[in-house]
Structure 1
Amino acid sequence: MEGASLDAVKAWVQQTRHIAVLTGAGISAESGVPTFRDAQTGYWAQFRPEDMATEAGFRALPQRVWDWYQYRRDLLTGVAPNAGHQALAVFAQQYPDRLTLITQNVDGLHQRAGSVGVLCLHGDIFENRWLDAPRNCCHIDHAVAGHPPYCDRCGNLLRPGVVWFGEALPFATLEAAQHAAHTCDLMLVVGTAGAVYPAAGLAHQARAAGARVVVVNPAPSELDGTAHGVLHGTAAEVLPQLFGAG
């Protein structure tokens, strides 16, 4: 459904007590961030996603998987947040109690734009965590450099701090996102096809709880039918207008 106009949604943003924003790969693509599958080019194209983004794949060939994530980290070093990221950050800085930012992205661009308290459903590619439950000897700051780094006492490996296929989302983060969906008055779903759950389910939860739901995306999404309004445009185009930065 098309529903509300841009001016109507802008009025909702201005009048609403609390806004939840769910962002997906589209907002980062505008900054030039390659998608998960786009990053599997050149040398990396020969490997299956399940070999590069599962615990089993990492345990089988930890050096190869670690190096692929380092390659992806390197790709991100030359990427900057765009006007969409910045509009959300500026609004949250001005009204810190009025916006909860939830993202499916692992690239850290929201944080680099100045957003704090971002709920990263799928983790953060720049963070590391231990592959196995850490023992008293496991300290990330003291890990031995390697591909991947490891604990010199027990051999525990560091792994990228992202959610791999077959893994549950971080419980506390998902719980906070669900709370925001249940308590917000307006949810904006930005730059996502709405096909990945449980993230996409947040929009349904918000609607069921009585919130207005608005999709911002240049292409049709699977959440369009749930929304009170669909704004066809990119995050960098639309969000500055909605949040008063354009």
Structure 2
Amino acid sequence: MSLLEGKVAFVSGGGSGIGRAIAETYAKEGAKVAIADINEAHGMETVKAITDSGGEAFFMAGDSSKAEDNKRFVDETVAKYGRLDIACNNAGIGGPALPTGEYPIEGWDKVIALNLSGVFYACRYQLEQMEKNGGGNIVNIASIHGTVAAPNSPAYTASKHGVVGLTKNIAAEYGQKNIRCNAVGPGYIETPLLTANLDKDALTYISSKASMNRLGTPQEVADLVTFLSSDKSSFTTGSYFIADGGYTAV
């Protein structure tokens, strides 16, 4: 039997990179998948990949930094599939690259709005629905920079530390309501966002900082997220799992 057979799952930022890999893996493991992304073309590509492989999915365009869109994502998922069992809050951005004393206010506000407030908004409405279901499971995508600094990215570091703290709070509050919540902290993963913004030398340098001496793949993150989303991790909540090839080990 597949790990997520009969489940309904939601993935934000599911149009590319890690989010797409998570959505496709959820579907392969038997879940019906609701995909949200601000880029409609990318989101529909993910849906097509899933349906072409025999899975079931649909797409919702929207901005994960807005409370009203997060509420709509939950409402439309329930309208389509009748419930919400699993949510992976993955949408996020890196923001400007400047030290804290020079960081633009508008850049800070934009990063915090999506990476932290957006995750709170998502959880706020997902939890409301999961209580109606009698249980559920949330996985928030943080970063290795939820535990170590990312110099010249203060908003990103602060937002991802916040996601880890929010995750722990939810786990403490909802454990007796049959709702689990964990966070995953990817290291540097070979996604279009990363490779489009860094040259070959920069990618080589980042790879060398991990003890495994390589970038991770979206599928490696998706496999961890899927495990945490399944009953195979039924006694695990409030935890923060790093997938970084040893980047933070030294």
Pair in the same fold by TM > 0.5 = no
The higher radius of gyration belongs to 1
Scaled by the length of structure 2, what TM-score is found? Answer: 0.30
> Which structure has more helix as a fraction of its residues?
2
Q: Tell me which of the two structures has the higher relative contact order, counting C-alpha pairs closer than 8 angstroms and 6 or more residues apart.
A: 1
Scaled by the length of structure 1, what TM-score is found? Answer: 0.30
